[in-house]
Chain A
């Protein structure tokens, strides 16, 4: 696609519910990142994929958070048993490759999760 697409844009969940957030990266981008952005803060790294391989999940805050990218394209971030502190915008970003590429990330508009 032309840009990184995320859905849903807005999600309201009751505490304890499971949620799934989807990211469709730019076509051909090998690298995919998930970030969490709390209100008034900068994005904080959650996890990174290169193709279908999850190479770094050091930023996932707890074992309630799980991400996958089974075919190396679309990715899903799943949060189980949501808590109020999970309320944030979840940003997905993808990156191209190549010698002339500065390596900047292209971000989606994010999924805003509110846990009541």
Chain B
């Protein structure tokens, strides 16, 4: 079966660093995505990993270990506007949709002053 796990909620302080973990078990793997979703808005793309290692993009970094079925999203220098849900999604190569994304339930991050 397909399963993607991530914490339901996290709280962090403005200016701090937070790490959001994601573990997955899927029938195939062709990349892992992180999306940000503010309440009532569309999910927006943050990062993509297909090989093991760290991808850095400004204040956001994403890490992947395919052998462990594990990824994390690292947010540095947190700002109030980073309060949102963060969605981990795996592209299943073997899905009938030629690359459909399977999403976790999302991690709701609250940034406090």
Do A and B come from the same complex?
yes
| Interface hit among A38-46, A71-79, A80-88 | A38-46
Complex Cα spacing A60 to B77, Å:
41
Task: Point out the residues of chain A lying under 8 angstroms from B105, CB to CB.
Answer: 40-42
Residues of A in contact (CB 8 Å), total 26
Is A25 an interface residue, CB under 8 A from the partner? no
Contact A50 B87 (CB under 8 A): no
- Complex CA–CA separation, A4 to B107 (angstroms): 24
How distant is the Cα of A105 from the Cα of B43 in the complex, in angstroms? Answer: 9
Contact with B along A23-52 (1 / 0, CB 8 A): 000000001010100001111110010100
Q: Quick one: CB contact mask for A50-61 with B, threshold 8 Å, 1 for yes?
A: 100001101000
Contact A44 to B103, CB < 8 A, known contacts A56-B95, A58-B96, A104-B33: yes
Interface residue ranges, B against A (CB under 8 Å): 4, 31, 33, 35, 40-45, 48, 87, 89, 91, 95-106, 108
5 further interface pairs, Cβ-Cβ under 8 Å (given A58-B96, A91-B42, A103-B48): A41-B105, A42-B89, A56-B100, A91-B43, A103-B99
14 A–B contacts, CB within 8 A, in A order: A31-B98, A40-B106, A43-B87, A43-B103, A44-B103, A45-B97, A45-B100, A48-B100, A56-B96, A56-B97, A58-B96, A95-B99, A107-B44, A109-B42
